[in-house]
Amino acid sequence: MKLIIDIADNKAAGFMEIIKNYSYVKARPISAPDAELFEEISEIKKAFKNVEKIKSGKLKGRPVEELLNEL
In this structure, is residue 15 part of a structural domain? yes
In this structure, is residue 25 part of a structural domain? yes
Range of the domain at 65: 9-70
| 25-53 pLDDT, tens digit each | 999 889 989 999 999 999 999 988 888 88
Kindly write down the DSSP assignment for every residue of 36-66, as one continuous string.
HHHHHHHHHHHHHHHHHHHHHTSS----HHH
Please provide the average confidence, as pLDDT, over all residues in the chain.
89
State the pLDDT confidence band at 67, using cuts at 50, 70 and 90: confident
* Domain count along the chain: 1
In this structure, is residue 59 part of a structural domain? yes
In whole angstroms, give the CA distance from residue 61 to residue 47: 12
The torsion defined by the Cα of 19, 29, 24 and 18, in degrees rounded to 10, comes to: -10
